[in-house]
């Protein structure tokens, strides 16, 4: 473990939850005169590395923004390629992830994905359901506003049915109706590839998250870059609106 640690990371102060906006696959491919799908394929290799490293570092939750509610606007060929990559990744990787004690979970309206994706995701969640290592949350057909909207619909129905008084709605009740209900708020959000925006990711959950941006495209992100982000996080002063 020691020799692979370039940054002086404090293993006692690990962020419990890291969420990543994996951006730049397209630009990475374009720079190499490759089709965009080659960038996504290379991006899957990075996912493999980063899940392993997160597990090794003892990070409890890793959430990856793999497909947003807005990504359906991409050309059909690209959407199909992403869905195929997801199925291939799960088919090829689940037994290894299981061996490494990784627990797979999904956030977002994943049931609206193609049937093969839904089947593989549910299989993966069943197989890894009892694992106690890193919780790998795949954000699929995920949108922060959509997640909040779904919670509002459920809570409004409870009020309509007399199960809840509107005055008794709390922040915890709202969180409990999000697809991230079982997942603590992210401590650290990483976005690769130079853009500094949230793109509808985990809107409710990131209220007090630390943000880390890097110009590196997702296919070039690696173990050392993850350590660098964690090191940056560990050297910040989190006050959660209070004083120290
Ligand atoms: C952003 O790059 C990346 C995505 C929208 C998808 C991320 C998906 C993967 C890494 C692979 C599939 C996922 C799994 C879980 C197997 P971009 O296309 O927006 O890049 P650009 O901004 O440079 O065009």
Sorted by where each starts, the structural domains of the chain and their CATH numbers stand as 25-142+189-195+209-233 (3.40.1180.10)
Crossing angle (nearest 10°) for helices 115-128 and 76-99: 20
pLDDT of residue 4: 65
| Closest CA to ligand 1's atom 6 | 66
Residue 244 has pLDDT above 80, yes or no: no
Instruction: Please state the atom number of ligand 1 nearest to the C-alpha of residue 68.
Output: 5
Could you report the per-residue pLDDT of 111-120, keeping only the tens digit for each?
999 999 999 9
Could you report the per-residue pLDDT of 165-176, keeping only the tens digit for each?
999 999 999 999
What is the rounded CA–CA span in Å between residue 86 and residue 107? Answer: 14
Q: Which residues of 147-162 are buried (b: 16+ CB within 10 A; e: fewer)?
A: beebbeeebeebeeee
Give pTM, 2 decimals. 0.95
Residue 3 has pLDDT above 70, yes or no: no
pLDDT of residue 24: 98
What is the rounded CA–CA span in Å between residue 188 and residue 204? Answer: 14
The CB of 86 under 6 Å from ligand 1? The reply is: yes
Could you report the per-residue pLDDT of 123-154, keeping only the tens digit for each?
999 999 999 999 999 999 999 999 999 999 99
Could you report the per-residue pLDDT of 38-78, keeping only the tens digit for each?
999 999 999 999 999 999 999 999 999 999 999 999 999 99
Note if 205 is an active site residue: no
The CB of 24 under 6 Å from ligand 1? The reply is: yes
Note if 161 is an active site residue: no
pLDDT of residue 111: 97
pLDDT of residue 58: 96
What is the rounded CA–CA span in Å between residue 100 and residue 120? Answer: 18
The CB of 65 under 6 Å from ligand 1? The reply is: no
Separation in Å, CA 35 to CA 15, 21, 81: 35, 21, 11
Mean pLDDT of the chain: 96
């Amino acid at each position: 473990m020691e020799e692979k640690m370039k940054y002086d990371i404090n293993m006692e102060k690990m962020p419990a939850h890291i969420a990543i906006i994996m951006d730049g696959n397209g630009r990475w491919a374009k720079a190499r005169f490759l089709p965009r799908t080659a960038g996504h394929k290379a991006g899957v290799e990075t996912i493999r590395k980063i899940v392993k490293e997160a597990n090794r570092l003892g990070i409890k939750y890793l959430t990856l923004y793999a497909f947003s509610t807005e990504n359906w606007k991409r050309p059909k060929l690209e959407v199909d390629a992403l869905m195929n990559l997801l199925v291939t990744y799960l088919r090829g990787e689940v037994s290894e992830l299981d061996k490494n004690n990784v627990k797979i979970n999904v956030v977002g309206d994943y049931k609206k994905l193609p049937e093969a994706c839904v089947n593989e995701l549910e299989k993966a969640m069943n197989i890894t359901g009892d694992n106690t290592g890193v919780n790998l949350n795949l954000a699929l057909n995920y949108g922060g506003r959509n997640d909040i909207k779904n919670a509002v619909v459920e809570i409004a129905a409870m009020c309509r049915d007399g199960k809840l008084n509107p005055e008794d709605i709390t922040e915890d009740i709202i969180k409990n109706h999000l697809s991230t209900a079982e997942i603590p708020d992210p401590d650290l959000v990483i976005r690769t590839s130079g853009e500094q925006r949230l793109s509808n990711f985990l809107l409710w959950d990131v209220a007090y998250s630390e943000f880390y941006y890097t110009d590196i495209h997702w296919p070039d992100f690696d173990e050392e870059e993850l350590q660098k982000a964690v090191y940056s996080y560990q050297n910040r002063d989190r006050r959660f609106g209070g004083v120290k």
